[in-house]
A = this chain, B = another copy of it.
Amino acid sequence: MIVTFGEIMMRLAPTGYLRLNQTSQLEMTFGGGEANVAVSLANYNKHARFVTGLPDNDIGAACLGQLRKWNVDTSQIKTNFGRMGIYYCEKGASQRPSKVIYDRAGSVFSQMKSEDFDWDTIFEGAKWFHFTGITPALSDNIAEATLEACKRAKAKNITVSCDLNYRKKLWSKEKANRIMSGLMPYVDVLIANEEDANDVFGIKAGNTDVTAGKLCFDSYRDVAKQIVDRFGIKTVAVTLRESVSASNNLWSALLYDNGNLYSSKKYNIQIVDRVGGGDSFGAGLIYGLTEGYDCQRALEFATAASCLKHTIEGDFNNVSVFEVEALADGDGSGRVQR
Protein backbone atom coordinates (compact mmCIF):
# COMPACT_ATOMS: atom_id res chain seq x y z
CA MET A 1 0.00 0.00 0.00
CA ILE A 2 1.23 3.46 -0.98
CA VAL A 3 0.32 6.63 0.90
CA THR A 4 0.42 10.03 -0.78
CA PHE A 5 -0.07 13.29 1.11
CA GLY A 6 -0.99 16.64 -0.35
CA GLU A 7 -3.62 18.98 -1.63
CA ILE A 8 -6.19 18.30 -4.32
CA MET A 9 -7.76 21.24 -6.11
CA MET A 10 -10.72 21.79 -8.35
CA ARG A 11 -9.45 22.32 -11.89
CA LEU A 12 -11.51 24.59 -14.10
CA ALA A 13 -10.62 24.66 -17.77
CA PRO A 14 -12.25 26.34 -20.76
CA THR A 15 -13.45 24.04 -23.52
CA GLY A 16 -10.84 23.22 -26.16
CA TYR A 17 -8.43 26.04 -26.93
CA LEU A 18 -10.66 28.86 -25.73
CA ARG A 19 -9.18 31.37 -23.31
CA LEU A 20 -10.80 32.28 -20.01
CA ASN A 21 -12.28 35.50 -21.39
CA GLN A 22 -13.84 33.68 -24.35
CA THR A 23 -15.58 30.78 -22.70
CA SER A 24 -18.91 30.44 -20.94
CA GLN A 25 -18.23 26.86 -19.91
CA LEU A 26 -15.56 25.37 -17.70
CA GLU A 27 -14.66 21.70 -17.53
CA MET A 28 -14.61 20.74 -13.86
CA THR A 29 -12.16 18.04 -12.82
CA PHE A 30 -9.87 17.64 -9.83
CA GLY A 31 -6.14 17.31 -9.52
CA GLY A 32 -3.01 17.85 -7.49
CA GLY A 33 0.43 16.32 -7.48
CA GLU A 34 -0.05 13.63 -4.81
CA ALA A 35 -3.64 12.88 -5.79
CA ASN A 36 -2.48 12.38 -9.37
CA VAL A 37 0.13 9.89 -8.16
CA ALA A 38 -2.48 8.01 -6.12
CA VAL A 39 -4.85 7.77 -9.06
CA SER A 40 -2.10 6.49 -11.36
CA LEU A 41 -1.12 3.82 -8.87
CA ALA A 42 -4.75 2.79 -8.37
CA ASN A 43 -5.05 2.50 -12.16
CA TYR A 44 -2.11 0.09 -11.98
CA ASN A 45 -4.11 -1.94 -9.44
CA LYS A 46 -2.04 -0.78 -6.50
CA HIS A 47 -3.70 0.04 -3.19
CA ALA A 48 -3.19 3.80 -3.03
CA ARG A 49 -4.28 5.88 -0.07
CA PHE A 50 -4.50 9.61 -0.53
CA VAL A 51 -4.38 11.77 2.61
CA THR A 52 -5.73 15.31 2.49
CA GLY A 53 -8.42 17.62 3.81
CA LEU A 54 -11.57 18.65 1.96
CA PRO A 55 -14.51 20.97 2.61
CA ASP A 56 -17.54 19.29 4.16
CA ASN A 57 -19.86 20.51 1.41
CA ASP A 58 -21.05 19.36 -2.02
CA ILE A 59 -17.78 20.47 -3.61
CA GLY A 60 -15.75 18.29 -1.29
CA ALA A 61 -18.24 15.48 -1.80
CA ALA A 62 -17.91 15.75 -5.58
CA CYS A 63 -14.14 15.48 -5.24
CA LEU A 64 -14.40 12.45 -2.96
CA GLY A 65 -16.69 10.79 -5.47
CA GLN A 66 -14.12 11.26 -8.22
CA LEU A 67 -11.31 9.83 -6.09
CA ARG A 68 -13.45 6.80 -5.29
CA LYS A 69 -14.30 6.40 -8.96
CA TRP A 70 -10.58 6.10 -9.67
CA ASN A 71 -10.30 3.53 -6.89
CA VAL A 72 -8.25 5.64 -4.51
CA ASP A 73 -8.49 4.80 -0.81
CA THR A 74 -10.17 7.87 0.68
CA SER A 75 -10.60 6.46 4.17
CA GLN A 76 -8.08 8.87 5.70
CA ILE A 77 -9.38 12.06 4.10
CA LYS A 78 -10.83 14.49 6.63
CA THR A 79 -13.51 17.04 5.87
CA ASN A 80 -14.04 20.34 7.57
CA PHE A 81 -15.74 23.69 7.14
CA GLY A 82 -13.95 25.78 4.55
CA ARG A 83 -13.01 25.95 0.92
CA MET A 84 -11.22 23.90 -1.68
CA GLY A 85 -8.34 25.30 -3.67
CA ILE A 86 -9.04 26.00 -7.33
CA TYR A 87 -6.85 26.31 -10.35
CA TYR A 88 -7.86 27.63 -13.73
CA CYS A 89 -6.11 26.01 -16.64
CA GLU A 90 -6.02 27.48 -20.13
CA LYS A 91 -4.69 25.05 -22.72
CA GLY A 92 -1.98 26.53 -24.92
CA ALA A 93 -1.23 25.73 -28.53
CA SER A 94 1.79 26.18 -30.75
CA GLN A 95 3.59 29.37 -29.64
CA ARG A 96 0.92 30.24 -27.04
CA PRO A 97 1.76 28.69 -23.67
CA SER A 98 -0.69 27.00 -21.38
CA LYS A 99 -1.55 29.23 -18.46
CA VAL A 100 -2.41 28.29 -14.90
CA ILE A 101 -4.04 30.69 -12.44
CA TYR A 102 -4.16 29.57 -8.83
CA ASP A 103 -6.87 30.43 -6.33
CA ARG A 104 -5.77 28.09 -3.56
CA ALA A 105 -5.16 30.25 -0.52
CA GLY A 106 -7.06 29.34 2.64
CA SER A 107 -8.02 25.81 1.64
CA VAL A 108 -9.20 23.34 4.26
CA PHE A 109 -6.07 21.26 3.77
CA SER A 110 -3.64 24.17 4.11
CA GLN A 111 -5.27 25.07 7.41
CA MET A 112 -5.07 21.65 8.99
CA LYS A 113 -2.61 21.10 11.79
CA SER A 114 0.00 18.45 12.24
CA GLU A 115 -2.03 16.81 15.00
CA ASP A 116 -5.01 16.43 12.68
CA PHE A 117 -3.20 13.55 11.01
CA ASP A 118 -3.10 10.19 12.74
CA TRP A 119 -0.03 8.74 11.07
CA ASP A 120 -0.24 5.39 12.81
CA THR A 121 -3.60 4.73 11.26
CA ILE A 122 -2.65 6.34 7.97
CA PHE A 123 0.47 4.22 7.59
CA GLU A 124 -1.18 0.95 8.57
CA GLY A 125 -0.09 -1.50 5.88
CA ALA A 126 1.94 1.10 3.97
CA LYS A 127 5.17 0.31 2.17
CA TRP A 128 5.73 3.64 0.45
CA PHE A 129 5.11 7.28 1.29
CA HIS A 130 5.08 9.98 -1.36
CA PHE A 131 4.78 13.75 -1.26
CA THR A 132 5.83 16.70 -3.42
CA GLY A 133 7.47 20.01 -2.67
CA ILE A 134 4.06 21.64 -2.99
CA THR A 135 2.75 20.12 0.23
CA PRO A 136 5.15 21.73 2.74
CA ALA A 137 4.89 24.98 0.78
CA LEU A 138 1.18 25.34 1.57
CA SER A 139 1.55 26.44 5.19
CA ASP A 140 3.84 26.12 8.16
CA ASN A 141 1.39 23.68 9.73
CA ILE A 142 1.45 21.44 6.73
CA ALA A 143 5.23 21.70 6.50
CA GLU A 144 5.36 20.50 10.08
CA ALA A 145 2.94 17.68 9.32
CA THR A 146 5.06 16.65 6.35
CA LEU A 147 8.15 16.45 8.48
CA GLU A 148 6.26 14.44 11.07
CA ALA A 149 5.03 12.08 8.35
CA CYS A 150 8.56 11.59 7.05
CA LYS A 151 9.85 10.77 10.51
CA ARG A 152 7.09 8.28 11.17
CA ALA A 153 7.53 6.69 7.78
CA LYS A 154 11.22 6.29 8.37
CA ALA A 155 10.58 4.78 11.78
CA LYS A 156 8.21 2.28 10.18
CA ASN A 157 10.72 1.43 7.46
CA ILE A 158 8.46 2.86 4.77
CA THR A 159 10.21 4.03 1.61
CA VAL A 160 9.85 7.79 1.13
CA SER A 161 9.74 9.53 -2.23
CA CYS A 162 9.52 13.22 -3.00
CA ASP A 163 8.94 15.18 -6.18
CA LEU A 164 10.65 18.56 -5.69
CA ASN A 165 8.07 20.53 -7.70
CA TYR A 166 9.01 24.09 -6.81
CA ARG A 167 6.08 26.58 -6.97
CA LYS A 168 7.33 30.13 -6.83
CA LYS A 169 3.89 31.54 -5.98
CA LEU A 170 3.77 29.51 -2.76
CA TRP A 171 7.12 30.30 -1.20
CA SER A 172 10.50 31.89 -1.77
CA LYS A 173 13.52 29.93 -2.90
CA GLU A 174 15.10 30.59 0.44
CA LYS A 175 12.22 29.15 2.42
CA ALA A 176 11.92 26.24 0.03
CA ASN A 177 15.60 25.49 0.47
CA ARG A 178 15.36 25.58 4.25
CA ILE A 179 12.25 23.45 4.58
CA MET A 180 13.04 20.96 1.83
CA SER A 181 16.59 20.52 3.12
CA GLY A 182 15.08 19.48 6.44
CA LEU A 183 12.97 16.84 4.71
CA MET A 184 15.62 15.39 2.41
CA PRO A 185 17.29 13.19 5.05
CA TYR A 186 14.14 11.08 5.13
CA VAL A 187 13.82 10.78 1.36
CA ASP A 188 14.86 7.60 -0.44
CA VAL A 189 13.80 8.52 -3.96
CA LEU A 190 13.90 12.07 -5.25
CA ILE A 191 12.25 13.21 -8.47
CA ALA A 192 13.14 16.54 -9.96
CA ASN A 193 13.82 18.48 -13.08
CA GLU A 194 16.81 20.73 -13.52
CA GLU A 195 14.88 23.85 -12.75
CA ASP A 196 13.60 22.41 -9.48
CA ALA A 197 17.03 21.39 -8.30
CA ASN A 198 18.34 24.82 -9.09
CA ASP A 199 15.39 26.73 -7.68
CA VAL A 200 15.23 24.81 -4.43
CA PHE A 201 18.79 23.76 -3.72
CA GLY A 202 20.79 26.00 -6.03
CA ILE A 203 22.15 22.92 -7.76
CA LYS A 204 22.88 23.70 -11.40
CA ALA A 205 23.97 21.95 -14.50
CA GLY A 206 25.69 23.91 -17.18
CA ASN A 207 24.71 24.78 -20.73
CA THR A 208 20.94 24.32 -20.60
CA ASP A 209 18.45 26.81 -21.87
CA VAL A 210 15.05 25.51 -20.99
CA THR A 211 12.96 27.98 -22.93
CA ALA A 212 14.91 27.28 -26.06
CA GLY A 213 13.86 23.66 -25.77
CA LYS A 214 17.41 22.39 -25.69
CA LEU A 215 18.78 20.31 -22.86
CA CYS A 216 22.23 18.99 -22.39
CA PHE A 217 21.77 15.42 -21.22
CA ASP A 218 25.23 14.88 -19.93
CA SER A 219 25.12 17.65 -17.38
CA TYR A 220 22.32 15.89 -15.51
CA ARG A 221 24.58 13.23 -14.11
CA ASP A 222 26.28 16.08 -12.33
CA VAL A 223 23.03 17.45 -10.92
CA ALA A 224 21.98 14.03 -9.69
CA LYS A 225 25.34 13.36 -8.14
CA GLN A 226 25.31 16.68 -6.29
CA ILE A 227 21.88 15.85 -4.83
CA VAL A 228 22.97 12.39 -3.78
CA ASP A 229 26.15 13.73 -2.25
CA ARG A 230 24.47 16.51 -0.37
CA PHE A 231 21.52 14.62 1.09
CA GLY A 232 22.47 10.96 0.94
CA ILE A 233 19.50 10.07 -1.20
CA LYS A 234 19.72 6.66 -2.83
CA THR A 235 17.86 7.25 -6.07
CA VAL A 236 17.38 10.42 -8.08
CA ALA A 237 15.20 10.68 -11.17
CA VAL A 238 15.17 13.65 -13.50
CA THR A 239 12.55 14.32 -16.16
CA LEU A 240 13.69 16.08 -19.29
CA ARG A 241 11.20 18.15 -21.23
CA GLU A 242 12.25 19.80 -24.46
CA SER A 243 9.54 22.26 -25.37
CA VAL A 244 9.35 22.63 -29.11
CA SER A 245 6.04 24.40 -28.64
CA ALA A 246 2.93 24.18 -26.49
CA SER A 247 1.68 21.51 -28.93
CA ASN A 248 4.84 19.48 -29.25
CA ASN A 249 7.34 18.35 -26.62
CA LEU A 250 10.16 15.86 -26.51
CA TRP A 251 10.07 13.87 -23.33
CA SER A 252 12.60 11.58 -21.68
CA ALA A 253 14.09 10.94 -18.25
CA LEU A 254 17.17 9.85 -16.39
CA LEU A 255 17.64 7.74 -13.31
CA TYR A 256 20.70 7.93 -11.11
CA ASP A 257 21.05 5.02 -8.75
CA ASN A 258 24.08 3.80 -6.88
CA GLY A 259 26.30 5.90 -9.06
CA ASN A 260 24.90 4.60 -12.32
CA LEU A 261 23.02 6.84 -14.74
CA TYR A 262 20.22 5.23 -16.75
CA SER A 263 18.66 7.03 -19.67
CA SER A 264 15.19 6.39 -21.14
CA LYS A 265 13.89 6.45 -24.66
CA LYS A 266 12.87 9.88 -25.87
CA TYR A 267 9.29 10.45 -27.03
CA ASN A 268 8.15 13.05 -29.56
CA ILE A 269 4.72 14.01 -28.23
CA GLN A 270 1.74 15.76 -29.83
CA ILE A 271 0.23 17.16 -26.64
CA VAL A 272 -3.40 16.74 -25.58
CA ASP A 273 -2.87 17.85 -21.96
CA ARG A 274 0.49 18.08 -20.32
CA VAL A 275 -0.60 18.98 -16.79
CA GLY A 276 0.26 16.11 -14.47
CA GLY A 277 3.05 14.85 -16.70
CA GLY A 278 5.60 14.92 -13.93
CA ASP A 279 3.23 13.29 -11.45
CA SER A 280 2.56 10.43 -13.84
CA PHE A 281 6.30 9.90 -14.10
CA GLY A 282 6.58 9.71 -10.32
CA ALA A 283 3.74 7.20 -10.13
CA GLY A 284 5.29 5.09 -12.86
CA LEU A 285 8.60 5.08 -11.06
CA ILE A 286 7.01 4.09 -7.74
CA TYR A 287 5.13 1.34 -9.56
CA GLY A 288 8.27 0.00 -11.18
CA LEU A 289 10.31 0.11 -8.00
CA THR A 290 7.60 -1.51 -5.86
CA GLU A 291 7.18 -4.23 -8.50
CA GLY A 292 10.91 -4.94 -8.26
CA TYR A 293 11.75 -3.85 -11.80
CA ASP A 294 15.42 -3.17 -12.45
CA CYS A 295 16.42 0.46 -12.81
CA GLN A 296 16.29 0.62 -16.60
CA ARG A 297 12.89 -1.03 -16.81
CA ALA A 298 11.45 1.07 -13.99
CA LEU A 299 12.70 4.19 -15.74
CA GLU A 300 11.24 3.11 -19.10
CA PHE A 301 7.93 2.30 -17.45
CA ALA A 302 7.83 5.70 -15.77
CA THR A 303 8.76 7.54 -18.95
CA ALA A 304 6.27 5.65 -21.10
CA ALA A 305 3.55 6.22 -18.49
CA SER A 306 4.21 9.95 -18.46
CA CYS A 307 4.43 10.08 -22.24
CA LEU A 308 0.91 8.64 -22.36
CA LYS A 309 -0.28 11.15 -19.77
CA HIS A 310 0.32 13.91 -22.30
CA THR A 311 -2.38 12.32 -24.48
CA ILE A 312 -5.01 12.21 -21.72
CA GLU A 313 -7.35 15.06 -20.74
CA GLY A 314 -7.20 16.13 -17.09
CA ASP A 315 -4.64 15.72 -14.34
CA PHE A 316 -5.18 11.99 -13.84
CA ASN A 317 -3.19 9.54 -15.97
CA ASN A 318 -5.98 7.33 -17.19
CA VAL A 319 -3.92 4.39 -18.51
CA SER A 320 -3.36 0.78 -17.54
CA VAL A 321 -0.19 -1.21 -16.88
CA PHE A 322 -0.88 -3.04 -20.13
CA GLU A 323 -0.94 0.19 -22.10
CA VAL A 324 2.20 1.56 -20.48
CA GLU A 325 4.10 -1.63 -21.10
CA ALA A 326 3.00 -1.81 -24.73
CA LEU A 327 4.55 1.62 -25.24
CA ALA A 328 7.65 0.92 -23.16
CA ASP A 329 8.12 -2.25 -25.20
CA GLY A 330 8.22 -0.25 -28.35
CA ASP A 331 4.82 0.26 -29.95
CA GLY A 332 4.34 3.98 -30.26
CA SER A 333 2.83 3.72 -33.69
CA GLY A 334 -0.66 4.53 -32.49
CA ARG A 335 -2.30 1.92 -34.73
CA VAL A 336 -5.95 1.30 -33.94
CA GLN A 337 -6.56 -1.41 -31.35
CA ARG A 338 -9.62 -3.47 -32.26
- Measured CB to CB, the residues of A under 8 A from B are 12, 16-29, 57-59, 61-62, 65-66, 68-71, 83-84, 86, 88, 90, 92-103, 105-106, 167-169, 210-213, 241, 243-248, 267-272, 274-275, 304, 307-308, 310-314, 318-319, 323, 327, 330-338
Contacts and interface: CB of A to CB of B under 8 A. Distances in A.
A25 B28 contact: yes
Contact of A96 (B28, B274, B312): B312
A335 B241 CA distance: 9
A168 B338 CA distance: 9
A62 B20 contact: yes
B62 A95 contact: no
B98 A271 contact: no
A167 B331 CA distance: 20
Given A24-B24, A84-B103, 10 more contacts: A12-B28, A22-B318, A24-B29, A26-B28, A58-B101, A92-B311, A93-B272, A97-B337, A99-B337, A243-B333
A120 B219 CA distance: 61
Given A270-B94, A338-B169, A313 B22 contact: yes
Contact of A69 (B57, B66, B210, B247): B66
Contacts of A65: 21, 69-71
A193 B291 CA distance: 40
B97 A211 contact: no
